[in-house]
Amino acid sequence: MKISIGSDHRGVELKSKIISNFKDIEWLDVGAYDLTKSDYPIYAKKVVQNIIDNNSELGILICGSGVGMSIAANRFKHIYAALCWNPQVASAARCDDMANILVLPADYISLEYAFEVVNAWLKAEFKGGRYQTRLDLTNL
């Protein structure tokens, strides 16, 4: 599986640890690459564009609260970015809402818990059916 991943400066450390921990994933790291202050919308757009262009199947975005990345990514049609803070929400986001981008709040989640959230999101599968009908209503 190929996943595009991006963060602003506040998510750089968590991003690198996720990449290191999930070795069976082919990662497309779009930055940021250091702690120099950076603007989250730049990285959100890069991850989204990789999904739209079919360069990756899914995406992960990380910023301090996760809210900015969620707002920036969800501006694009057929992008469903879900800010998740626990494994149950991550699983539901993928199963019920077809979240194709997981957003993590670097300032509010421990490393170990972030790994659990990523793992739950990766293992979950979209249910389709009535959930697809609901998603179709969001694309009017």
Q: Is 95 assigned a catalytic role? A: no
pLDDT at 124 over 90: yes
**pLDDT of amino acid 139:** 66
Please state the pTM of the whole predicted model: 0.93
DSSP state of 64: S
Confidence of residue 133 (pLDDT cuts 50, 70, 90): confident
| Strand stretches in 1-140, DSSP E | 2-7, 26-29, 58-63, 81-83, 101-105
Q: Tell me what the pLDDT averaged over the chain comes to.
A: 94
**pLDDT of amino acid 7:** 98
Question: What ranges do the domains of the chain cover?
Answer: 2-138
Dist CA 69 CA 39 (whole Å):
10
CATH topology of domain 2-138: Ribose 5-phosphate Isomerase B; Chain: A, (3.40.1400)
Q: What is the pLDDT of residues 2-31, one digit of tens each?
A: 999 999 999 999 999 999 999 999 999 999
Catalytic residue among 62, 63, 117, 118: 63
**pLDDT of amino acid 140:** 55
pLDDT at 137 over 90: no
- Residues 103, 44, 76, 1, Cα dihedral to 10°: -70
**pLDDT of amino acid 6:** 98
98-102 long-range contacts, CB within 8 A, separation 24+: 98/126, 98/131, 98/132, 98/135, 100/51, 100/57, 100/58, 100/59, 101/47, 101/48, 101/51, 101/58, 101/59, 101/60, 101/61, 101/73, 102/58, 102/59, 102/60, 102/61
